[in-house]
Amino acid sequence: MNKVMSNKWIIALYVLPALLLIGVLIFIPLILSGYYGLMEWNGIGEMEFIGLENYIAAIQDLKFWDSALHSALLAIFSTLSLVVYLAISMILASKIKGADLLRKIYLIPMLLSSVAIAQLWIKVFNPANGMLNRILMAIGFENPPAWLANPDIVLYAIFIPILWQYAGFYILIYYAALKNVPETIIEAARIDGASPLQIAYRIKLPLIKGVVKVTVVLAIVGSLKYFDLIYVMTGGGPNGASEVMASYMYKLAFSTNDFGYGSAIGFLLLIITLIVTVIVRKLTADKDEIQY
Amino acid sequence: MNRIGYVFLYICLGIVAVFQIFPIIWLFLFSLKSNQEIFAGSPFALPKEWLWENYAKVWEGGIGLYFFNSVWITALAIIFTALLASMATFAITRMQWKLDKFVLGLFMVGLMIPIHSAIIPLFNMFLSVNLIDNPWSIVLTYTAYNLPITMMILLGFYYTLPREIEEAAIIDGCSVHRMFFRIILPMTAPVLSTIVIINMIYNWNEFVFVNTFISSDEYKTLTVGIQNFIGQYMTDWGAIGATLIISLLPILAAFIFFSNKVVEGISSSAVKG
């Protein structure tokens, strides 16, 4: 038995194809990204080694910091919206009729491609004929804004479809966790005279704390690397007002052919994401995890 | 709780449901309208005449090719991912070797990587082996980038399989390959169907890799194809709506038929992270 199940050739045959693929297509490119960052390179011609110049330029690049700020704002809004999603899940999980159907309806936007979502919301936001302004005008607003063309508003306008897209995802996760809270504990609290709000805050919330922490990490890290929808909806514009880190990197490489500088930004994006992941995990870790 | 409380809760949940679903219904409605009706009528109104021609027009306009590309690229990548992930997970969880935990760790690190950090080097690597503007670059990338999450969903299932299955198979003189393909793999069918759905949602909707690696129209998938398409029908909102609805249909159909698998997959893939 043990001899057969520890045959090195068979193990290699089963693990190596997958390992090679992630090695060649995930890990080597990440290392190369840091290396390309040390080069002056337009993507076609010769690479020229310039040391840390790209990285120093990135740190002094106001556009990069603007895009980082926008990514950070998205992370903050996403994290705050978790409170709303959690509240909705609490209501859904409190044995009300139709919870299953509602939860599935909430999830539908999550299934759509970013391009379809982007095109749909471009139409919703259309200043003259879009659904949003038509409704606003119908209820009496004279001059509703041009949502995606106004640099003061565009960033917040674009957050709406992003939060819309992920609402069902987080509600589903919380709902699944809440369904695992043992009924006996809640019953006991109810007999002791706890109100529904007290049960939610004092009993259910602490019991699903682990899942809440995971979603905080997901929301923050996901926001830092967010790209698709912003790229399609505004391309980071107008004038960089909705640029995020990943869209700025993509533009540098594939629109302005500054592959060296783009790679440096890409590598910084990786470093920032990893550091933030570690910090958020540390901040949310605690030893007296409640067991049930 | 009293009746007023319940009514209030249902109103709140209903508002959220409308917010989540109404933009999609609006899209469906305007895919069947003429520009005139979209621009002059109420966004809530049903179409006066149901213009199914909008669908015929965009299908004949060439979206069928993008659709076909999406189907085969998505399907092939799912098969590769499911097979390779199953084999690797089998070796890591069921076979005895020293580096299993370390190798598993490598796969799990893959979950934290922002794909955009890898895209410039990937582009350059594919360029040097002549895979740029070749659909195989997409199939390979989807397979690699879906392996970590797929293995994470598989892990829990493989850990719970009873050891006796393997013991009995080996005593009966069964080879490891036969045991894996004939006994273990079929046993993982329930979790494999979850994996197929999760991978399908990801592959069908993926944008940035196709947008970067593919330039010829003949190899584009639906997500990137509809971008061009929309440029072509810039002002024809009915045609744009029809294009978008066509791109949503397969995923919506899969969701309606397998919604419990989708729900399982999404919650298990997220919470265990």
pLDDT tens for residues B83-112? 999 999 999 999 989 999 999 999 998 888
Q: Which CATH architecture has domain B60-270?
A: Orthogonal Bundle (1.10)
Given CB atoms, is B174 within the 8 Å cutoff of chain A? no
From B170, B270, B273, residue closest to A1, measured CB to CB = B170
* A215 in contact with B, Cβ within 8 Å: yes
Are A37 and B122 a contacting pair, CB within 8 Å? Answer: no
CA-based nearest residue to A265, from A243, A287, A242 = A243
Task: Supply the mean pLDDT for chain B.
Answer: 87
Q: How confident is the model at residue A161 (pLDDT cuts 50, 70, 90)?
A: very high
A292 pLDDT higher than 50: no
Instruction: Look up residue B217 and give its DSSP letter.
Output: G
A70-97 confidence digits (pLDDT tens): 999 999 999 999 999 999 999 888 878 8
Q: Which of B91, B92, B248 sits opposite A116 (nearest CB)?
A: B248
Considering only CA atoms, which of B49, B5, B61, B97 is closest in space to residue B231?
A: B61
pLDDT of residue B270: 61
Cα distance between residue B19 and residue B21, in whole Å = 6
Question: B135 versus B265: which is more confidently predicted?
Answer: B135
| Cα–Cα distance for residue pair B256/B28, rounded to 1 Å | 17
B84–A21: do the CB atoms touch at under 8 Å? Answer: yes
pLDDT in tens, B66-91: 999 999 999 999 999 999 999 999 99
- Residue extents of the structural domains in chain B: 60-270
pLDDT on residue B239: 85
A269 to chain B, any CB pair closer than 8 A? The answer is: yes
How many angstroms separate the CA atoms of A80 and A72, rounded?
Answer: 12
Give all domains of chain A, ordered by start, each with its CATH number.
62-283 (1.10.3720.10)
What ipTM does this complex have? 0.87
**Which has the closest alpha carbon to B61: B228, B208, B223, B201?**
B228
Measure CB to CB from residue A22 to each of B12, B107, B166 and give the nearest one.
B107
